[in-house]
Structure 1
Amino acid sequence: MMGLSEILSRINDGVFLELIFQENTDWDARLDSRDGIEFASAWSASYEQVLSSCPPEDESIRQVREAAFKKVYQITGNPDLAGYVSDDFGLIVQAFMHQVDSGFIHRLWQAYAQGTFPH
């Protein structure tokens, strides 16, 4: 598992998110696919698992969420996409920090780590 500082460093490295979001993609269609029952249900269940087993978000998690939002918005100009990415990174970091074992959250991180937007 990655630590919070390592994830924040990757967000701010000028390469990690740029490689994912610089491509000419119909981001609204990608967001719509995330609203499908399978992905949305898995995301919500993972969120509930983290919410029920972890303390509330702290400043370090908010810092990661804010950095992800700003970087994706800067790259794409799409506030909805930036919000989804911010939510993803908040979920990922909180799970990693509190050692929540979730296959879905692990796959969510793996998608980003492999240079793709999870959908």
Structure 2
Amino acid sequence: MPDNQMFELLDNLKKVNYETLDIDDFLDQRECEPFNSEWIRVYQAIEELKKERAVEDTREIEKKAYITVFEKTECDDLAGYIADDFGLIADSIMLNYSDEWLEKLISCYKKAIIPRGNL
């Protein structure tokens, strides 16, 4: 299980002001550049590391993130994106993977901000 940082980040999902979040705009910004290509780049790097080292399953963390967001927004797409982020972050912690863009992603969640667009 990843360190306490994951519990802090999961707790921060409850603090996000979802009422002011334009979900359609959010989803658009996640699917556009530079966010999309950076996310995929980090994901692929982590997947390569996972081929060399076994890591614990992150589905429970992803599930908790998904449920938290879905209960607040009832938006499956938004909850899915955020759950994917949490899986990526958990894997990176277990693999000791560090990346400047990923640190910006994590920093958003530390501030209870949903990351999107140009971090």
Q: Give the structure 2 partner of residue 44 of structure 1.
A: 40
The amino acid across from 1:112 in the alignment is Y
- Residue 56 of structure 1 and its aligned partner are, at CA, apart by 6.3
Taking structure 1 as the reference length, what is the TM-score of the superposition?
Answer: 0.85
Number of aligned residue pairs: give it. 114
Taking structure 2 as the reference length, what is the TM-score of the superposition?
Answer: 0.85
- Contact 2:9–2:110 (CA under 8 A) maintained in structure 1: no
Structure 1: 5+ residue stretches without partners: none
Q: Give the structure 2 partner of residue 9 of structure 1.
A: 7
CA RMSD of the aligned region, Å? 1.9
1:73 aligns with 2:66: no
Separation in structure 2 between the aligned mates of residue 90 and residue 31 of structure 1, nearest angstrom: 18
> Stretches of 4+ moved more than 6 A in 1?
none
CA deviations 1:14-67 (Å, max 9, x no partner) are: xx21221433321121110111121100000000000001246633x1110000
Give % identity: 27
Structure 2: 5+ residue stretches without partners: none
1:23 to 1:114, Cα distance in 2 relative to 1, 3 A: same
